[in-house]
């Protein structure tokens, strides 16, 4: 009957028409067991994989069928593109299809490959995976090989090579972006010595060594946050210099910078020297020293040393402390020509003249100076009394004193006035200078006037008057002795006759006639 449950056995079937039933046909009836609905878990795929029916699990097969609708009218075949929706899977054995199992299928969108630019690091930073950009995270993964089998983790040391980065969302990993990673060698800290500058030079960053450049950077703080540029004024402090190559900055080198105060230009007045002194740099004031320098040109390129001969010109003097040289002071130097020693002959004076310095020749003056000692330390003044000794005379022009001329000075003793008595002569004797006493000689001189301007010579006829006699020794003439000279008139011969006397009368002069005359007997 229609409600009879079938089982696997032979059944018999007849056909009846008009109540006439045919013979029975034996029919083997098999009641196949319908399989249970297959087990299937929700599936997730990535859009980048272009998932299709061939990717479903359980796999499409002669027994496994997938459908995209609950009515099981739209079968999913191997090439059917999957989308996010519910799918239904059945199992069929012996043409018996199981009830369907609903399977939630999700086709997640595969993210695009992440943006990543080439990266450069510095060896000094010991770069690792943790430094990569974009950063390693639950979604960002880096690899050191194109096959993406060698992941880079945060602690992986980076090297110069190509790395690969992907992004994963919902277990869907993007294609990889290749990223060139360069680990540049960080340069060593630059070599730099302590440096000293002078305040007068207004030192700035442009003066530092090594020089500021695209690779050399200077800083005024250890934190390297305050850069020193070319125009930065320097001061006495510690500075820090680094070298950068490929954006890798070295550790800093500490450099002590000292800005020493430049001294002011030294005070120096115009100076005059004498050629005879052979003036040299050693004579300049202020004196040459470790701090005082002299130059013969305004450019300060020609130094004057102790042995440099000076000439009449402008010189320039500076003061240097801590290697800082002041501005120069211009100093006019004059080398005056020292005059030659004056001409002077030996000189003799007479004590009676009381000779003094004013009698010397050449005469004392603003340029002529006499001295009584060879050291020229005892000057002879106009009133200095001269004595018999050696004197020294120099000539000075422009304060330059010549060498001394040695002059023998003799002060001869003036003789005393000669002794001479009043003298009388007879006109008949024609008395002359030769008759005067003391006699005329090389030392005795007679004069007929007090001024001693009219000399009496041996042949000078004497007259009754006062004469003056002097004595001269060594050209020194004594004062005159005044002598009264009388020339008496000689009388004419008296008249007298021959006279005879008798011896018995013992005649005497008293018997002569005329009486009172002198008689002379000539033998």
Residue 497: predicted pLDDT? 87
Q: If 0-12 CB within 10 Å is exposed, 13-18 middle and 19+ buried, where does residue 194 land? A: exposed
Residue 458 CB contacts under 8 Å (≥ 6 apart), including other chains: 432, 433, 434, 440
Contact by Cβ (8 Å): 288, 305: yes
The pLDDT of 469-496, averaged and rounded, is: 95
Find the angle CA(164)-CA(170)-CA(175) to the nearest 5 degrees. Answer: 25
Residue 499: predicted pLDDT? 85
Instruction: Report the alpha-carbon distance of residue 461 to residue 470 in Å, rounded.
Output: 19
Q: Which residues of 157-191 are buried (b: 16+ CB within 10 A; e: fewer)?
A: ebeeeebbbbbbeeebbbebbebebebbebbebbe
Lowest mean pLDDT, pick from 306-310, 479-483, 509-513:
509-513
pLDDT tens digits, 70-127: 999 999 999 999 999 999 999 999 999 999 999 999 999 999 999 999 999 999 999 9
For the chain, how long is the longest CA-to-CA vector?
286
pLDDT tens digits, 161-199: 999 999 999 999 999 999 999 999 999 999 999 999 999
Q: Has residue 523 got a pLDDT over 80?
A: no
H/E run at residue 474 = none
Residue 2: predicted pLDDT? 81
CA distances from 251 to 119, 125, 135, 186, 191 (A): 21, 11, 27, 9, 11
The pLDDT of 430-439, averaged and rounded, is: 97
Confidence of residue 501 (pLDDT cuts 50, 70, 90): confident
Residue 496: predicted pLDDT? 83
| pTM listed for this prediction | 0.61
H/E run at residue 473 = strand 465-473
Phi, psi of 49 (to 5 degrees): -85, -5
């Amino acid at each position: 009957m229609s409600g009879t449950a079938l089982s696997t056995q032979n059944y018999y079937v007849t056909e009846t028409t008009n109540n006439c039933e045919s013979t029975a046909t034996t029919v083997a009836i098999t009641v196949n067991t319908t399989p249970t609905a297959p087990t299937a878990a929700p599936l997730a795929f990535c859009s980048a994989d272009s998932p299709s029916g061939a990717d479903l699990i359980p796999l499409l097969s002669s027994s496994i069928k997938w459908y995209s609708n609950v009515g099981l009218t739209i079968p999913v075949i191997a090439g059917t593109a999957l989308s996010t929706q519910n799918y239904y899977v059945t199992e069929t054995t012996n043409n018996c299809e199981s009830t369907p199992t609903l399977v939630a299928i999700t086709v997640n969108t595969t993210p695009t490959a992440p943006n990543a630019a080439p990266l450069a690091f510095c060896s000094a930073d010991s770069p690792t995976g943790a430094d990569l950009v974009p950063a390693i995270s639950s979604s960002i993964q880096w690899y050191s090989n194109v096959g993406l089998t060698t992941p880079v983790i945060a602690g992986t040391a980076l090297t110069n090579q190509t790395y690969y980065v992907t992004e994963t969302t919902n277990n869907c990993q993007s294609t990889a972006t290749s990223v060139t990673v360069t680990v540049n060698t960080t340069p060593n800290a630059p070599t730099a010595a302590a440096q000293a500058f002078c305040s007068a030079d207004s030192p700035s960053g442009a003066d530092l060594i090594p020089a500021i450049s695209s690779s050399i950077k200077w800083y005024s703080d250890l934190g390297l946050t305050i850069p020193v540029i070319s125009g930065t004024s320097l001061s006495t402090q510690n500075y820090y210099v680094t070298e950068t190559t490929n954006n890798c900055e070295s550790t800093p080198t500490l450099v002590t910078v000292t800005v020493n105060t430049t001294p002011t230009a030294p005070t120096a007045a115009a100076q005059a020297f004498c050629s005879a002194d052979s003036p040299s740099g050693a004579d300049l004031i202020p004196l040459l020293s470790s701090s005082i320098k002299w130059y013969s040109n305004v450019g300060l390129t020609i130094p004057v040393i102790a042995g440099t001969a000076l000439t009449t010109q402008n010189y320039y003097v500076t003061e240097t402390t801590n290697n800082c040289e002041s501005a120069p002071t211009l100093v006019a130097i004059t080398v005056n020509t020292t005059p030659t020693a004056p001409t002077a002959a030996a000189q003799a004076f007479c004590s009676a003249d009381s000779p003094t310095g004013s009698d010397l020749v050449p005469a004392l003056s603003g340029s002529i100076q006499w001295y009584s000692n060879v050291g020229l330390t005892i000057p002879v003044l106009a009133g200095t009394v001269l004595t018999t000794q050696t004197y020294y005379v120099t000539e000075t022009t422009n304060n330059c004193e010549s060498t001394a001329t040695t002059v023998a000075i003799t002060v001869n003793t003036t003789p005393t006035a000669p002794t001479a008595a009043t003298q009388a002569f007879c006109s008949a004797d024609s008395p002359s200078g030769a008759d005067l006493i003391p006699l005329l000689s090389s030392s005795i001189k007679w004069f007929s006037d007090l001024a001693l301007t009219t000399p009496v010579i041996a042949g000078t006829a004497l007259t009754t008057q006062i004469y003056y006699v002097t004595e001269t020794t060594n050209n020194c003439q004594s004062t005159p002795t005044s002598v009264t000279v009388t020339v008496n008139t000689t009388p004419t011969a008296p008249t007298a006759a021959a006279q005879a006397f008798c011896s018995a009368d013992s005649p005497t002069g008293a018997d002569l006639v005329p009486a009172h005359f002198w008689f002379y007997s000539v033998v």
